[in-house]
Each structure stands twice: as structure tokens, then as C-alpha cells.
Structure 1
Amino acid sequence: MVVLDVFTLVVALAALGCAVLALRTVRAGVRREGPDALPEDVLGLRQEVAALRAEGRDALRHLAAVRYDAFGDMGGHLSWSVALLDDGGNGVVLTSIHGRSEARTYAKSVSAWRCDQQLSPEETEAIEAARP
């Protein structure tokens, strides 16, 4: 009976040793710097997401279009102004004035939600509509 108890104790100690080794192997991939310790690949993904967000600030994400009649005798709202801006309000406002015999298109650069050139009321409306 004593032999059986000793054998059971040896098996239990061996199982405990295997569990400790397995735990060390699992923890090897985890940073041990506080309660929010995460695997290295998760930290790398966080850095990638932060880099993508930084790149996205320069994307022309704020868009707005205004359609209107530039001339009283024309109908159909064929003239338009569209603002294409990034998070900082930098980009361009495009305008197309449609007349009976021609259409003219203008582009004005916008910096920090402002333009150095004089804006029409419709261009100003497009920029304000694009602002978050």
C-alpha cells in the first residue's frame, strides 16, 4: 500500500512539473510589465492601427456638395460647388458654373478651413457643410 502511495505522489509531482513548464512556455510570449501585459503581436497591432489613424488624418474625408442655379434664367440646379477636405480643413473647393452656352470650372485651395481667394456664398456653404 505504501508503494502505491509513493507512486501516486511521484505521478502528482511529475504532473505538477509539466504544468509549470507549460505555464512558462505560455508566458514566454507575454510581456510582464504590469496588469495590462499583452502578447507582443497585440502591441504591434496597436502600433499599426495608430499609424493608420495618423495617415487617415491626411485623407480627403470631409466632403460636401452644394447645387444651385448660378443665373436666374437657368433651372435645374446645374451649377455646383464641392469641398474635399482632410481632418485639418486642408484641401480644395471645386466649382462649376453652368450657363446657357458654356460651363466654367474653378478650383480654390483651402487651408485650415479658410481660403486665401474670395469665396462665393455656395463655396463657403460647401466648406462649412464639410466641417465635422
Structure 2
Amino acid sequence: MSEALAALALLVALAALLMVLADRRGRRRSSDDAPLPEDVRGLRQEVAALRREGADALRHLSVVRYDAFSDMGGHLSWSLALVDDAGDGVVLTSIHGRSEARSYAKNVTGWTCEQQLSPEELEAIDATRP
């Protein structure tokens, strides 16, 4: 008799567990299908707009320092690449010599440049690729 009661108690407990799980699953589905509150919808739109704006930001940066002349040490010359997600931006280069320094700016479009790039400038652009 006690074995029968134990089996019956086990079946009742199993049935109760199945009912609880089914109820939770039903609640989860109904909450997923429910319309979003207006403020949540607005926040999602703002996040999407910020992501679109961020794609145009010059957020990829790389600096390459080097000695432009064999008689100069200290890596005083440098090339700086600033580009957005599409590879559009600018490369700034400063070449330091003993008596003068020269600076150059070159536009970058789609990871390439219309002007000839030095190996250091190419290295700076390549290092910015995500």
C-alpha cells in the first residue's frame, strides 16, 4: 500500500511540475508577443540612429613612428591615419629633418588614396582596418 501511495505522490508531483512549466512557457510567449511600451520603442530608434551616426565617425586610428632619414634617430617622423568604418578619412604625416619639418595631409577614400602613399602611410592605413 505504501508503494502505491509513493507512486501516486510521484505522479502528482510530476503532473504539477509539468503544469508549472507549461504555465511559464505560456507567459513567456505572451510577453514576447506583447507590444513594446512607447518609451522602449523610442530608445531603440535612438540607438539605431546613434549607430548610423557612429559609422561616419573617424574612430579608427593608427600612428606609425619612424626615422625618415638615416642620419636622424629617435623616430621623430610619424604618419597618423584617421578613418571611419568605410575607410574614408585622412592620413597626416610629419617628416622631421635636422633643420626643418614638413607636414602632409592626404585624403583617404575606401582605404585608398589618389596621391602616392609612403610605406609608413600605407602601414598606418592598414593598421586601422577593423
Number of equivalent positions: 100
User: Could you tell me which of 80, 83, 87 is aligned with 2:81?
Assistant: 83
User: Could you tell me which of 86, 98, 101 is aligned with 1:100?
Assistant: 98
Say if 1:95 and 1:39 are closer, same or farther in 2 by CA, change over 3 A.
same
Say if 1:82 and 1:38 are closer, same or farther in 2 by CA, change over 3 A.
same
- Cα separation, 2, equivalents of 1:83 and 1:99: 21
Provide the TM-score with structure 1 as the length reference. Answer: 0.73
- Cα separation, 2, equivalents of 1:110 and 1:47: 31
Deviation at 1:36, TM superposition (A): 5.0
Give ranges in structure 2 of 5+ residues lacking alignment: 1-31
1:17-96 to 2 correspondence within 5 Å? 35-96=33-94
Instruction: Please give the secondary structure, in 1, of the residue aligned with 2:39.
Output: helix
- Cα separation, 1, equivalents of 2:91 and 2:33: 49
Match of 1:124 in 2: 122
Give CA deviations for 1:28-71 in whole Å, capped at 9, x if unaligned.
xxxxxx71521111000000000000000110000000000000
- Cα separation, 1, equivalents of 2:123 and 2:96: 18
Give ranges in structure 1 of 5+ residues lacking alignment: 1-33
- Cα separation, 1, equivalents of 2:91 and 2:114: 12
**Over 2 Å off, 4+ runs:** none
